[in-house]
Amino acid sequence: MIPTVLGSAPLEGELPTRRRPRPHVIAYGRTTNPDFVPPILERVITGDHPLRSKRFGLISAYDGDSVGLGRVVVDSTWHHWFSMNLVGIAQGDSPAYQKMQDYYRNVGMWLATPAQRSSMLVSGTWGVLNGSPPMAFGTETEPWEIGERVLAAFGLTASPCLIREIVAPFLDDLELLAESSAPGGPPQAEPSWSGLPEDLINRALVGGIGSALLDLALDHQEKRARGQRPRVNPEAIRQRIVDGVARGHTLLRKSVQDAATSLTAVHAVLTKSAIPRPIDVRIPIEVRELRVVAETLQLPDASDPVLLDRHVTLTIRLKLDDSIVAHQIIESVELPAFNERGSVIDLSRDVAALAVQTGESLSIEVIAGSWTSEEADPELIRFTETVRGDASKWIGKNLPARSQAWRLWYRIEEAKAPSY
């Protein structure tokens, strides 16, 4: 079926065969309502408090195009259409007035009949073909390319929604466009193959119409360049539009057929490779099993308050990044005698074995007192050291810095071979 330029409507007395659509409220607002406020709260509730307003529908719309009943917009007020208040708003050229103008244009587009909207597309296409620089379009220009260039020109001043509105009357099945565009709907996580991409539909139909008008437009443009005043033949343009719409539908059918053939071949390849071949992938993350052994602890200062009773409880704690992964508590260690170099405690004990992953840092702490996984008092931390980088370079004995309050000699050894 080739649609006419003027659109179509049910014959007199003919009932639409499709289910009639329902109207929808498309904008809401709030209004003050003193009766809604309980008298006891009347004095304490002021301004824009939620209790002073009610939510109500501002604008509703009805789309009866699909069943030949036309469209309706219902606005809750007429003031912003006719009121003299608009004069002041317009003179101020405020952002609010710009938004109101957008609203007026949207309403005008919505209420336009399919025939009016199809005429907009024809006029726009004709204008692009005639108004483009010489050589922008040639007799050898393919319909797909024409559609792409004309739509690019439309996009300089028209939104995608407006373009959708002026293309829709040329579709035999409006649901095709609705399924492919789904304006305002949530994004689909999974690709859908139930409809055609809206851009493909637009390019095909506009390209078909543009290609049918091209020779007339080029002839018109050439005559004007010669100083002549060519006359436009409405009936010739009308016949070209009918032919152009048929070309657009042909382009879509051929595109779908080509896609089906290509997808069949792609499906065959995917079927053959349903079981992927083994792939050797090396993940650059290494896990090393390490053991931390505490060897010797030097106490350089006998006046440290935690050493006054000649016994001390120690906690040796390990962290990976900021997480405590192991601890060992040594109860009531008797302090040996001090000399000019301090006192030395022989520990000689495994603190823990742990798995270290690439990118992690290891911290060793010595804390006065008994501590497990809770946050330690900073005043009681006597030794802390952190090693970073390649864990394989941590292996070996550690020489503590002299800046530490206490000095811990420890070693890190490999518990077993690294795993990947």
**Cβ–Cβ under 8 Å, residues 358 and 285:** yes
356 within some domain: yes
CB 332 within 8 A of CB 311: yes
Residue 206 reports pLDDT greater than 90: yes
Structural domain includes residue 265? no
Q: What share of the chain is helix, strand, coil (3-state, %, to 5)?
A: 40, 25, 35
pLDDT of res. 71? 93
What's the token pair of residue 272?
């053959």
The two tokens of residue 328 are 């060992």
| pLDDT of 182 strictly over 60 | no
With left for phi above 0 and alpha for psi between -120 and 50, is residue 364 left, alpha or beta? beta
The predicted pLDDT at position 296 comes to 93
The confidence score (pLDDT) of residue 18 equals: 58
Q: What is the DSSP letter of 380?
A: G
Structure tokens at 170: 């040329």
Task: For residues 177 and 197, give the distance between their C-alpha atoms in angstroms, rounded to a whole number.
Answer: 8
Are residue 225 and residue 159 in the same domain, yes or no? yes
Mean pLDDT of 73-89: 81
Residue 67 in any domain: the answer is: no
Q: Do residues 233 and 220 touch, judged by C-beta distance below 8 A? A: no
**What is the model's pLDDT at position 403?**
87
* Residue 10 scores a pLDDT above 50: no
Q: Do 309 and 370 fall into the same domain?
A: yes
120 with 221, same domain: the answer is: yes
User: How close are the terminal C-alpha atoms of the chain, in Å?
Assistant: 65
The answer to whether residues 376 and 382 touch, using CB atoms and an 8 Å cutoff, is no
- In angstroms, rounded to a whole number, what is the distance separating the alpha carbons of residues 201 and 248? 8
Q: What are φ and ψ of residue 294, in 5° steps? A: -85, 125
| DSSP string over 93-109 | T-HHHHHHHHHHHHHHH
Distances (CA, A) of 246 to 4, 129, 141, 204, 211: 10, 19, 18, 10, 11
d(CA 402, CA 298): 11
Mark whether 366 and 409 lie in a shared domain.
yes
Number of other CB atoms surrounding residue 101 within 10 Å: 11
Q: For 73-83, what is the mean pLDDT? A: 84
Task: With beta carbons less than 8 A apart as the criterion, state whether 23 and 61 touch.
Answer: yes
Contact between residue 405 and residue 382 where contact means Cβ atoms under 8 Å apart: yes
Say how far apart CA 406 and CA 385 lie, in whole Å. Answer: 11
Q: Are 345 and 396 in a shared domain?
A: yes
- Domain containing 318 equals 287-419
Q: Which of 187, 241, 234, 192 is nearest to 214 (CA)?
A: 241
Q: Report the range of poorest mean pLDDT among 19-33, 126-140, 192-206, 281-295.
A: 19-33
State whether 124 and 175 are in the same domain: yes
Residues 249 and 358 in one domain: no
Q: How far apart are CA 91 and CA 318, in angstroms?
A: 73
Residue 227 placed within a domain? yes
Tens digits of residue pLDDT in 274-291: 777 788 878 888 899 999
Residue 175 has pLDDT above 90, yes or no: no
pLDDT at 8: 39
Looking at the structure, tell me whether residues 224 and 354 fall in a common domain: no
What's the number of CA atoms in the CB half-sphere (13 Å) around residue 306? 18
- pLDDT tens for each residue of 120-157: 999 999 999 998 887 889 888 999 999 999 999 999 98
Same domain, 294 and 248: no
Same domain, 242 and 291: no
Residue 95 counted as domain residue: no
- Confidence (pTM): 0.60
Highest mean pLDDT among 75-84, 95-104, 217-226: 217-226
Among 253, 274, 302, identify where a domain stops.
Answer: 253
CA distances from 179 to 175, 184, 185, 195 (A): 6, 12, 11, 6
The H or E element containing residue 352 is strand 343-357
The CATH code of the domain that includes 358 is 2.60.40.150
Residue 167 has pLDDT above 80, yes or no: yes
pLDDT at residue number 186: 56
Tell me the per-residue pLDDT of 235-258, one tens digit each, with 9 for 90 and over.
Answer: 999 999 999 999 999 999 999 999
**Residue 207 and residue 322 in one domain:** no
Helix (H) or strand (E) holding 299: strand 287-299
Judge if 223 and 125 occupy the same domain: yes
The amino acid sitting at 155 is: G
Q: What is the pLDDT of residues 296-323, one digit of tens each?
A: 999 988 888 888 888 899 999 999 999 9
Share of the chain above pLDDT 90, in %: 47
- Domain contains 32: no
Q: What's residue 49's pLDDT? A: 53
| Euclidean distance between CA atoms 73 and 76, whole angstroms | 10
How distant, in Å, are the alpha carbons of 63, 64, 71, 127, 231 from that of 22? 8, 9, 11, 37, 45
Write down the H helix ranges in 59-94: 79-82, 85-92
Domain assignment present for residue 273? The answer is no
CA atoms within 13 A on the CB side of 214: 23
Structural domains of the chain, count: 2
Work out the average pLDDT over 11-21: 57
Task: Examine residue 47 and state whether it is found in any structural domain, yes or no.
Answer: no
Rounded CA-CA distance 172/321 in Å is 65
pLDDT of residue 13: 47
- 397 SS3 class: strand
Residue 11, pLDDT above cutoff 50: no
Please enumerate in sequence order all residues whose Cβ is within 8 A of that of 352, keeping only pairs 6 or more positions apart, or say none: 291, 292, 318, 325, 326, 327, 328
